[in-house]
Amino acid sequence: MNPLTHSNLLPDPLKAWYTQSVENSLAESDCDPQVGLTSQQVSQRLQYYGLNELEEKAKRSSWAMFLDQFKDIMLLMLIAVAIVSGILDLINLQQASEKASEFPFKDTIAILSIVILNGILGYLQESRAEKALAALKSMASPKVRVLRDGRTLEIDSPQLVPGDIMLLEAGVQVGADGRLIEASNLQVRESALTGEANAVNKTVEVELSEDTPIGDRINLVFQGTEVVQGRGKVLVTGTGMNTELGKIAQMLQGVESEPTPLQQRMSQLGKVLVTGSLLLVALVIIIGLGVSGWDLSVFQQLVEVSLSMAVAVVPEGLPAVVTVTLALGTQRMVRRHALIRKLPAVETLGSVTTICSDKTGTLTQNKMVVQRVDTLNTSIQVTGNGYEPVGEFLLNNQPITTEQYPELEPLLLAC
């Protein structure tokens, strides 16, 4: 028999757990609330359900990311212009005509240099942003306390599986969706999920109807929310994409990205230039043949002249100017602690006229972090970033320890 089937009492993450009693929930999860899951059960369920992480679209390779920089119609037009210019220079060289340049292919080299530079700038910005976002994501992965094999352990949130007994206390972030089995004055702020800034009082002994909205499911806790008061013991029922946050992430992945206002205007300009260039080529050839009559050598000359005129119509420096301008804007945003993944997004942000938003979790981070401690005799700076347990105490910009200033220790214990 396959050990990884629901016949072995593996919990169904899609079940309406808020309609179930605590006893039924524990029975269906095959879990003892005083012992938690065994190591063997955790291994099986981790293999069956996977890591407690939100799925992302497959990452592009470096080459794919680089080639994506050349999908803009203006850049494609410049590449076509470079090819045509190179062909004309090659014809002139072969014919050894007086029109042949002393430095052949100079236009081709110049245009391709602009195109490649444009691609490199876009690739570097996107690559740096991706690496920075990956680093932020690894830092944001919270630790959770669980009961396994009768022992309390602290594990990384991605290691949670359905059926785990998760222990909550004030100040911790909920690592997965779950059914409350014990609670003591438990309040959870669900602004990250529902937008409601006020903390929600959670209750264990209640069974709700199936049509109860998310904000009223007071016997459940949800991934990404924060405990602001009390303690609780939770039976994990959903992880990864089977959480409420996972459902939102899945919907967002189905949304197709639209071109930015700048990309739309550049596309329109490119279409106008392409159409105008083709009309110019056609008019020059038609008028020239109409005046001189059909002659192969005349036709070749007319083609060369018309293509040269078409090349002259294209503003070779425009994409480079736009890219450099956007890159400078991106660097200014970085200095203001805002990461921009793609260069055109800078212009989109500049086009915004109205922002409709709540405060908590959007304009503010819903966190309180100590940055300075004032005692009777001194003022001590505290370094670090967010809830990460990294940082030090500084007095007059010099590191100190709690042994040197014992008044710090009771303050830390109180926090």
Q: Mind telling me the catalytic residues?
A: 358
Tokens of 203: 């209750």
Residue 80: enclosing H or E segment and its boundaries? helix 73-95
Rounded to an integer, what distance in angstroms lies between the CA atom of residue 249 and that of residue 56? 9
Q: Is 238 exposed, middle or buried (0-12, 13-18, 19+ CB in 10 A)?
A: buried
The answer to whether 308 and 84 are in contact (CB under 8 A) is no
Q: How many helices and strands, by DSSP H and E, does the chain display?
A: 12, 11
Residue with token string 């999920």: 193
Rounded to an integer, what distance in angstroms lies between the CA atom of residue 360 and that of residue 121? 35
Separation in Å, CA 386 to CA 1, 53, 79, 234, 371: 48, 21, 47, 26, 10
Neighbours of 271 (CB within 10 A): 12
| Closest to 111 measured CA to CA, from 78, 84, 86 | 78
The answer to whether 186 and 202 are in contact (CB under 8 A) is yes
**Tell me, what DSSP letter sits at residue 58?**
P
CB-based contacts of 335: which residues, under 8 Å, 6+ apart?
A: none
